[in-house]
Amino acid sequence: MYDSNPTLTGLVKKIDEAKQGEVFFKEKPAPEGDDEGTGKHFYIESYGCQMNFSDSEIVASILSEVGYRPTRHLETADLILVNTCSIREKAEETVRQRLRVFDKMKRQRPGTMVGVLGCMAERLKSKFLEEEKLVDLVIGPDAYRDLPNLVAGAEEGERGVNVFLSREETYADISPLRLDSNGVTAFISIMRGCDNMCSFCVVPFTRGRERSRDCFSIVTEAQDLYERGYREVTLLGQNVDSYKWQNPENEQVVNFAQLLEMVAKVHPDLRVRFSTSHPKDITDEVLHTIARYENICKYIHLPVQSGNSAVLDRMNRTYDRAWYMERVQAIYRIIPECAISSDIIAGFCGEQEHEHQDTVSMVEWANYSMSYMFCYSERPGTMAARKYEDDVPEEVKKCRLQEIVDKQSEVSLRNNKADIGKTFKVLIEGDSKKSDREFKGRNSQNKMMVFPKVNNLKPGNYVWVKVTGATSATLMGEVSFP
């Protein structure tokens, strides 16, 4: 299973050379006792997608280089940062509420600095500084290297903003400082930005154009994580299937399927996940690669957004219902044991009842293991905001969303009950939320499993668990010894 693919021989050789010579990546260990000792401290809150949480670890690394230490305690922080999300209005309002809380703290503790990072910073730019005056710093997703300069200016009383969008920045050479890590699972960012102009989405405007990270630095980061005891990595990108990096030495192009294989070959005991896939780009080559390697998890997050072709056209998703269904069929044909999850928007512009019902039927037909489901939230500056009227009444949106949620709960419960009696290989992540006498961990299909502790098992171990019960969200089981 781990024999070299002839098409990757040169790349694997290059990686072996990197391991023996120059180190492309070396993770910086998190400081022990983050609130101990002297010096300045930063506190960071992250909202939104996994990419934001990954970015926060890059920010933490950059700040540590200029003497700032992370703290989990807000009251000890000299610098408070909020890594923001602009995907929905509710997310932005949550951030505004937190900034008002931080503003009161600043008044009580002169000298405390507050900064906004990420997508909301890019979208609103100087509004925070000039109109609301809630923050000292505004830094976009491509400007984190400028943080030390902006923080130094803020310490002198200068408010700073840098929301420049780059066509090259990937932070490939930054060693992430793992924050709140369980020591078992970690994110690896493989690309940044997005070229898909979905009409409802602000990401292309807040994160810029797509650019892929050097594959050698990705593989070396995965290798370093494994050597440090991590047993699962999630490769992150707005659209991982469009990953494409060209080696400047020989002009050989590495696509996502090849990158997946390269990371899988780091070690058979290192699980590999990825997010997010786009239905228009996920290829059979990717699916066959997943099927070929046991340690590439049999789980794909494949957002549909709507099950109706006309709505998908208004969303500018560049595929229709039939295309999406063909991709789902390909997944189940090539990877029979695969689980699929989705993103769904209820009440997009102009959505009619029969169009909504197409979405409900898609949940049933695709047999999603779970979904992230939301009412449509118009975002200023997007194509939808310029071109369409947000004409579905809020109460109708909520009713339609509830119908989708109910259907997904029904499908998830049926799906999970079908696993009762089956045995899965589970990676232990830590104690369950409800009891320190139980472990929690996920199987290859990304289903959370809870089971009693036995023997000397610990987080990071693999264990076989037989399913004895199920809810719509969780599988309950017991350790099953060979």
Tell me if 274 sits within 8 A of 298, measured CB to CB.
no
CATH number of 423-479: 2.40.50.140
CATH number for region 329-418:
3.30.750.200
The pTM of the full predicted model, rounded to 2 decimals, is 0.86
pLDDT digits (tens, 9 = 90+) for 391-409: 999 999 999 999 999 999 9
Q: How does the average pLDDT of the chain come out, rounded?
A: 88
Residue 205: HSE in the Cβ half-sphere, 13 Å Cα cutoff: 20
> Of the candidates 447, 473, 431, which has an alpha carbon nearest to the alpha carbon of residue 184?
431
Fold for the domain defined by 1-23+178-297:
Transcription Regulator spoIIAA (3.30.750)
Which residues, in sequence order, are CB contacts of 448 under 8 Å at separation 6+? 440, 441, 442, 473, 474, 475
pLDDT digits (tens, 9 = 90+) for 426-460: 999 999 999 999 999 999 999 999 999 998 899 99
1-23+178-297 shares its CATH topology with 329-418: yes
- Banded pLDDT at 2 (limits 50, 70, 90): very low
pLDDT tens, 189-226? 999 999 999 999 988 888 889 999 999 999 999 999 99
Q: Which CATH superfamily is domain 28-162 in?
A: Methylthiotransferase, N-terminal domain (3.40.50.12160)
Q: What is the mean pLDDT of residues 228-243?
A: 96
**Residue spans per domain, the chain:** 1-23+178-297, 28-162, 329-418, 423-479
Taking alpha carbons only, the member of 270, 274, 263, 265 closest to residue 238 is 274
